[in-house]
Amino acid sequence: MSLPTGTVTFFFSDIEGSTRLIQQLGERYPDVLLAHHTVLRQALAEHGGNELRTEGDSFFIVFGSALDACSGAAAAQQALQSHAWPEGGRVQVRIGLHTGEATLVGNEYLGLDVHRAARVASAAHGGQVLVSETTRALVDHVLPSSLTLKDLGLHRLKDLARPERLYQLNIDGLPGEFPALRTLEATPNNLPTQMTSFIGRDDQVREGRELLSRARLLTLTGPGGTGKTRLSLQIAADVMDQFPDGVYFVPLAAVQDPELVPSAIAQALAISSTGGRRPIDALLEHLHDKRTLLVLDNFEQLLPAAPLAIMLLEGSPGLRVLVSSRSVLRVYGEQEFPVPPLAVPDLKALPSLSALSQFEAVRLFIERAVAVKPDFRATNENAPAIAGICERVDGLPLAIELAAARIKLFSPQALLSRLEKSLTALGSGARDLPSRQQTLRGAIQWSYEMIDAPGRRLLARFSVFARGGSLEQVESVCGPPDDIGGDVIDMLDQLADQSLVRRLPDFSEPRFLMLQTIREFAAERLEQSDEAAAIKDRHVQAFIALVQQAQPYVFGSRRKEWLDRLEMEDDNLRAALDWTLATGDAKNAMLLAACLWRFWQMRGHIHEGRARVAAALA
């Protein structure tokens, strides 16, 4: 399939009320969906539409001509209107058209205009075709007499970007009156305009909406730079129609005194307290009979104010609270939602360039790189480096955006080479961001300063673990309690609550992981202390104990179980060997090698094993 490039028009559509149709039609729904697909495909193909993607009842089509896109959309609505649908199964499709330029990577278009087109469609009603200003400018004077455009005015779409003037494509013989558009203006709100597109996170937005429908207090947690604020805003925009009395964003990063949180919320809602009245009383009176959503951003430094959220929820049955914080609030009724990094490809099995662009981290890098260097293109030559950059920074959105900004100076290959040496190559971000969000180091430093001295000591010591460690190993290397200043289990929980380490599920025993970006920061703190050598020696002893424990089992019936365990700890074993070789500890290096030779042989690491033994004997 040869896809158009340059200025193109994007078509998005989906069925209005598809969930209701599924419930009404039951077993008949698949036949109705198939008929919908057939009708749309025929109408759009006849007008030059190129089908890019179909998911469920939604279509993503690209046209080389804006006029063809309008004609195709009109033909699709006419065909859908005249089709003989079963009783109770009439399909109403909403369509959005937007014209712009996008980067074509394989068979995938990337760029702000793609997202814009999808949001135009989401503002429409069933049977309606919405057209953006750029599309209108190209077709206004060349449309056939059967098609006209109706100016619907300026609207903020749910991508939270700048307002867009929208037009309705009126089609002769079809209804032309529809309810107010599904845009941000339909609900009172103060959600801030975003200057860049929201990329990926479809699964997290969907899960966040579902969790918010069940829990009245939802806390998005994650380390600095993981995109909690942006995700919370997108969830809020998507559920806005469920809160007719308003959706309000309350920025708390600049608030340091927990006593001032009620005042900050009241200010966001434009509520004034007269006389000696307390802000909390004014809030309770204002919210008690309303269906409202509060978005409390950056709550981590205000945890003593967490009971305030419960007080508001108890006094306002229609209230929901969505919080972003590096730490959970630890109050009754709270639902935590850990925000994961963006998906990154497996560097050991890189897919094709087109498939690579499906990974959210890669898409974000490419789109932000094009924003700073319009002639940037992802190619087969630089794709492995782009994937490597995304993996090197753990898929953290802030770090990816900082890396993409460096494309003005470095090729992806050169940038990856620098990042492999140090993350300082990322530099800083936009000057209008808070200082803690301008650099990755600033984001991590913000969290580091919020933990106590024993927690900082544990964080530094934990950095000796490469790709995580089990609870037993962490206790032996980082403890004991009287040495580190507290119970290791409790302190690990606190670090996890602050999003500085991650609890890993799906293991028979508790296991913890530190993102590589945070690990480098923590390792610097360990090196600045006087205990780095001692902690690394403990790490070596812990893994000598593990390989000695494994040795009797690598030949027996439990061979796979123990080989898998050693494979999981391969990075830690390498780190232990590196330290023994760096310190000239040939005895422990050979002890590790003697216990690992069968693992190296069975799991394809024999060349590495020989090199390790040779280095120890040198």
Residue 86 preceded by cis peptide, ω within 30: no
Task: Output the CA–CA distances (angstroms, integers) from residue 57 to 37, 107, 239, 300, in the order listed.
Answer: 8, 21, 20, 40
Q: Which of 156, 213, 210, 150 is nearest to 187 (CA)?
A: 156
Give the pTM: 0.77
Based on the domain organization, do 541 and 572 belong to the same domain? yes
Assess if residue 194 is contained within a domain. no
Q: How many domains does the chain have?
A: 5
Determine which of 42-56, 240-254, 435-449, 585-599 has the lowest per-residue pLDDT on average. Answer: 435-449
Compute the distance between CA of residue 399 and CA of residue 41 in angstroms, rounded to an integer: 41
Based on the domain organization, do 325 and 401 belong to the same domain? no
Q: Which of 462, 441, 455 is nearest to 539 (CA)?
A: 462
Q: What's the mean per-residue pLDDT of the chain?
A: 90
H-state helical runs in 316-411: 353-356, 360-372, 383-392, 397-405
Assess if residue 2 is contained within a domain. no
Check which CATH number belongs to the domain holding 483 and give it.
Answer: 1.10.10.10
Q: For residue 529, is pLDDT > 60?
A: yes
Mean pLDDT, rounded, for 232-250: 94
Q: For residue 171, is pLDDT > 70?
A: yes
Assess if residue 225 is contained within a domain. yes
Based on the domain organization, do 53 and 121 belong to the same domain? yes
- Predicted confidence at residue 275, as pLDDT, reads 66
Examine the fold and report which residue of 403, 434, 465 is the final residue of a domain before the chain moves on: 434
Based on the domain organization, do 65 and 22 belong to the same domain? yes
pLDDT category of residue 371 using cuts at 50, 70 and 90: confident
pLDDT category of residue 94 using cuts at 50, 70 and 90: very high
Based on the domain organization, do 324 and 388 belong to the same domain? no
Which range is most confident: 288-297, 348-357, 362-371? 288-297
Mean pLDDT, rounded, for 8-36: 93
Q: Environment class of residue 600 by beta-carbon count within 10 Å: exposed (0-12), middle (13-18) or buried (19+)?
A: buried
Based on the domain organization, do 178 and 82 belong to the same domain? yes
Q: Which domain holds residue 535?
A: 531-618
Mean pLDDT, rounded, for 196-215: 90
Based on the domain organization, do 21 and 132 belong to the same domain? yes
Q: Dihedral through CA 522, CA 500, CA 192, CA 310, nearest 10?
A: -150
Based on the domain organization, do 117 and 217 belong to the same domain? no
Task: Output the CA–CA distances (angstroms, integers) from residue 567 to 13, 187, 573, in the order listed.
Answer: 47, 53, 9
- Predicted confidence at residue 223, as pLDDT, reads 86
pLDDT in tens, 423-439: 776 765 554 445 555 56
pLDDT in tens, 113-160: 898 999 999 999 999 999 999 999 999 999 999 999 999 999 998 887
- Predicted confidence at residue 425, as pLDDT, reads 67
pLDDT in tens, 146-156: 999 999 999 99
Kindly report the CA angle at 533 between 528 and 535, in degrees rounded to 5? 95
CB distance 40 to 13 below 8 Å: yes
- Predicted confidence at residue 19, as pLDDT, reads 87
Based on the domain organization, do 248 and 143 belong to the same domain? no
Mean pLDDT, rounded, for 303-307: 95
What proportion of the chain, given as a percentage, has pLDDT over 90? 61
Compute the distance between CA of residue 245 and CA of residue 481 in angstroms, rounded to an integer: 51
Based on the domain organization, do 223 and 284 belong to the same domain? yes
